[in-house]
Chains A and B, each alone.
Chain A
């Protein structure tokens, strides 16, 4: 009987056999094609699609709905159908002279039903935002009332509602006096305002639950298994709408329309926004978006594509030049969106771009002359090969990794940081395969005075601190959320987090630990015989378990970290190669296929999935060789595109139809300024002549690097650095004494040129080559010559002024 009552609430959606009516060029389709409603309050959203010329358009909000049998059900203008009395009937849909109808069957419409806390009440509280992170779901609750975030811990929430606050929240004897009913409708003052309509769907359900004695679970043990969305993908026009339908599927194969209880979000709000009712709205911008629907920890995604309406000749994209698979994937994507790529960049731009990307500085005057004067067809390819062999390559890329790894010396000690830095640099100098780099780091043992890599375990001392950094850096999986609650956008829960953390449970430490601010002592990291991680809620000891895939077997005397490293670097683990491929791609291309670069998840899909997959496979196939990955990307046609837009790709910021400009990062810019002016920087704690990218700790003082951004070594989780501009930066470039002295230095470039026998025209040419890696154009000779003519008495001053001006322009500051 109970089972029946439970089922009676459920709404069964017939398989999506579409009721269609083809007339003229428009074809209407209602989804679902047949509506079966059981039980009081059962409802169903109808979505009507018009198909015309192969294009599908959501016309739900334009059509006229009519209930042919008002005694059986009603339907509103938004297409929401609600049962009224038992019986069979039809719903009629009219649009532009076309009519279709679908059968509706309503049963048990007055049958009392039992409410289940987990399946019925938590969704209402979640949808109303009661357990959101900003309200009662935050760690300290709100005004003494705390719920688990988004309902991840039903046990806790049930207690909070039924046992706390001396029973005032729910009051069985006089249900209407329950705070749970009075607060959300604003009947008594509520800090969060009115969250439910009095006597609306959610409110009625809450009341019924209280009246029926606040059951925790129904005996049938029905569970939510998954949710699905309709449509799961759709090509949409600009400035168009699409209603999403969310269906929950249960363990007994039944399903319900939960659109009205779901939360929605778009990963590209500028291209397609979605409102709280699941209505997607596209903008004037061409591109793609993933619309995520979330219902009680389950997630489903609707992929929206908004192409340009331009009609291109069929072979237009096939004719685009292709240098490797990267181009194929990018052209395929551009074809789907109808976006035309920019033309290739000029040689000097390519030279500058490749130098900055690969060795972290702009080309010298000589390098620029040589490259610009080279007529060979494969000069770009040769340039890339040559750059990859420069010693600066290792320093530049080690500097990037040091950003992510290096801790604060005040915390772990100078020696540990120095050794760590040396280990990172040495790895890049050897061009150590990436899997080996990660394995060595994750399984490091020994003394902080000898083994640089163990500094990771001196800095991160608990299994959970290690879990967040390791999963984010090497898998692109952000587990931070799952430490304290179920990840709101992902599948990860506390089980996953602490099972993963268990791989770090047996790290032993001998010697003196941290003793800030000096922390100068030696510490030995080794594999201990014991150690375990417990689930914070259940207190159970958790055995090590990977996030997905098979658990590698562990021998008793084995360091669990070895099993972890093997799992992470195994061929099945696509995250491992993809996050690194994405990071390198983002560095070279100005934007990651996934952004943020280390946040790979179903709800944050890559802008070009096949390309990311291919890059990852390529990286693995090359035996994790960073240089070959860089070589592949830099040799693609797409890498060499200009940043100049055409009328079709102006708004493209995701599909690589053009070059995306980037400000040079702090060390690259400083090293380039030193190179151009011919005046080196002198750093504390570094040998004379060191470049900025060789600095081993951010505690080496540099106003320049501070202004242009160095990561905070205390940030947790580690942070990709910011490339934004600030007024502090522009002021520093304009006015700092240091820059002034570099430009005016008696042994610097300006002084040398001015005192030479060379003509002013030659000086101008030298300055342009030094800063922009190109020859000046006629107009530019003209501007600069005027400067030299104005003050013939001071060639030096004119040279300095021109150098200063060039250093302060975006053509110098940006990688274009």
Chain B
């Protein structure tokens, strides 16, 4: 409730403006945090990935019906779907992944990430942050003990064209927040559906009924009526000055042609829009590509409804074909535009699903095995990392952890996962406790 300290620390901008840390902060801790920051900036020169698009399949997608079919397992495990061959000899995916199978040489699949957090709250946290939850949490939990992949990226990387560095579409994911890094590193949420005719990005676009010239005159009027005295002495830490800065940024974003263009999905040809799929997910993926083109470092596409405890096959018969189209189109389109070299695409959920099909024709939570897709930013094409046993119970070859997964993403983005960040309490925290990336994917 007070101005100067909170769980999320001192206003970064204040600190930077003031040139040294402690003025508005609490001595050592802020100095440590600032030193950490000073060291962290400019660390991304060798980065392969300028941007990352993370497609989150919330609920935990089945590995059997996607990238890790088990045709030789008994029927109660194998399920209703058949495997199909992919472009990579000897590698099969499940039957609905037709488009992805055809371009399997453009991405890698990891079949051997496992952890032991088989509920949504904890699983989401582990995969979204690379850190397990500190205390046991339940399925319904929306918890944050550690900054998310997106927020850490936002902390390290600036965006271009006045755009925020971290977007999440269409909603905040459970553990996708900034935790101790502070509200500035929270994602910018685009809740509106880009598949709608009247799609516009909330708050960045002017209100529908407001003409642009009227906004301009309002802006001028605001400058005239704003007569509150600012305290110029930097050491005073006048919070009004940081508000000024955020108004300036806000105006920049509104008036940035590049930014507005990035949001203007209507400027895409019908052909392109169709190719992504004329549905919410398809158009969000297209919006994600546009944001990456405009220089946004991190975009999360949050895709709900993958918690198939019941009627899994019916649900996936409906869902997978269009989903397959969207993901494959995204990868191809990025490649076509020369963006795949600098854009990392990641597809995953919180865990895999149980081997035995349950009495409701569904599969339950299973964190002993899961499949994760990675493409772009130097990720070799056609590589399958690790394997589960013949019945898909558990990762058995090249067993990897969420920490390895998170470290891979950070390394590709040029962020050192071994870097130490300081919480406002002065507690040192490694970005990832085990900074070892998955070598096979580093290219």
Contacts and interface: CB of A to CB of B under 8 A. Distances in A.
Task: Say if A and B assemble together.
Answer: yes
For A411, A481, A726, A804, which residue has the most chain B Cβ atoms within 10 angstroms?
Answer: A726
Q: Which size class do B's interface residues fall under?
A: 35 or more
A89 interface: no
B71 interface: no
A587 B247 CA distance: 26
B141 A723 contact: no
Nearest to A516: B140
A720 B22 contact: no
A725 B243 CA distance: 6
A644 B6 contact: no
Contacts of B199: none
Interface in B383-397: none
A514 B137 CA distance: 10
A723 B237 CA distance: 14
Given A735-B205, A737-B207, A410 B142 contact: yes
B121 A516 contact: yes
Interface string A194-236: 0000000000000000000000000000000000000000000
B183 A519 contact: no
A38 to B, nearest CB: 35
A267 B28 contact: yes
Contacts of B225: 780, 783-784, 802, 805-806, 809
Given A410-B142, A516-B121, A811-B226, A266 B28 contact: yes
B20 A270 contact: yes
A810 B228 contact: yes
Interface in A726-742: 726-732, 734-737, 740-741
A731 B263 CA distance: 15
Interface string B335-346: 000000000000
A787 B218 CA distance: 10
A736 B2 contact: no
Given A645-B231, A661-B3, A801 B253 contact: no
Interface string B74-107: 0000000000000000000000000000000000
A515 B140 CA distance: 8
A586 B430 contact: no
A444 B139 CA distance: 27
B428 A662 contact: no
Contacts of A661: 3, 238-240
A726 B184 contact: yes
Interface stretch (B209-217, B278-286, B308-316): B209-217
Contacts of B188: 728
Given A465-B135, A724-B242, A735 B206 contact: yes
Contact of A726 (B143, B221, B246, B254): B246
Contacts of B271: none
A266 B144 contact: no
B61 interface: no
Contacts, number: 270
Interface in B192-242: 202-210, 214, 217-218, 221-222, 224-229, 231, 233, 235-240, 242
Contacts of A134: 420, 428, 430
Given A651-B233, A731-B250, A801 B6 contact: no
B21 interface: yes
B141 to A, nearest CB: 6
Contacts of B214: 797, 801
A132 B244 CA distance: 40
B236 A662 contact: no
Contacts of A662: 2-3, 239
A802 B221 contact: yes
B140 A653 contact: no
A709 B186 CA distance: 11
Contact of B240 (A596, A732, A737, A810): A810
A622 B342 CA distance: 65
Given A663-B239, A740-B210, A810-B240, A712 B224 contact: no
A808 B426 CA distance: 36
A334 B238 CA distance: 20
Given A662-B3, A727-B164, A736 B202 contact: yes
B125 to A, nearest CB: 10
Interface string A259-272: 00000011111110
A195 B227 CA distance: 55
Contacts of B247: 730, 734, 808
Q: Which size class do A's interface residues fall under?
A: 35 or more
Contacts of A478: 425
Contact of A133 (B27, B145, B250, B427): B427
A285 interface: yes
B218 A805 contact: yes
A592 B254 CA distance: 37
Contact of B222 (A411, A518, A651, A809): A809
B358 interface: no
Interface in A356-372: none
A663 B243 contact: yes
Contact of A595 (B4, B21, B142, B434): B4
B5 interface: yes
B209 A744 contact: yes
Nearest to A729: B246
Contacts of A517: 138-140
B66 interface: no
B138 A514 contact: yes
B204 A731 contact: yes
Contacts of B229: 644
Contact of A720 (B6, B30, B183, B227): B6
B26 interface: yes
Interface in B374-388: none
Interface in B1-53: 1-8, 11, 20-28, 30-31
A716 B233 contact: no
A597 interface: yes
Contacts of B182: 722, 724
A486 interface: no
A46 B301 CA distance: 63
A587 B1 contact: yes
B249 interface: yes
A140 interface: yes
Contacts of B434: 140
B433 interface: yes
B183 A590 contact: no
Given A265-B27, A728-B203, A735-B205, A650 B235 contact: yes
B6 A591 contact: no
Contacts of B69: none
A590 B3 contact: yes
B26 A268 contact: yes
B25 A709 contact: no
B60 interface: no
A731 B253 contact: yes
Contacts of B240: 661, 810, 814
Contact of B228 (A732, A734, A816): A816
Interface string B155-186: 00000000010000000000001000011101
5 smallest beta-carbon distances between A and B, as pairs? A516-B140, A269-B22, A517-B140, A410-B140, A270-B22
Interface of A: 132-134, 138, 140, 265-271, 273, 285, 289, 400, 408, 410-411, 465, 478, 481, 489, 514-519, 583, 586-587, 590-592, 595-597, 599, 604, 643-645, 650-651, 653, 660-663, 665, 703, 709, 712, 714-716, 719-732, 734-737, 740-741, 744, 779-780, 783-784, 787, 797, 801-802, 804-806, 808-811, 813-814, 816
Given A289-B27, A731-B254, 15 more contacts: A140-B433, A266-B22, A267-B26, A516-B121, A519-B138, A590-B3, A591-B3, A596-B26, A597-B1, A645-B236, A665-B1, A716-B135, A727-B250, A737-B202, A801-B214
Interface of B: 1-8, 11, 20-28, 30-31, 121, 134-135, 137-145, 164, 177, 182-184, 186, 188, 202-210, 214, 217-218, 221-222, 224-229, 231, 233, 235-240, 242-244, 246-247, 249-250, 253-254, 420, 424-428, 430, 433-434
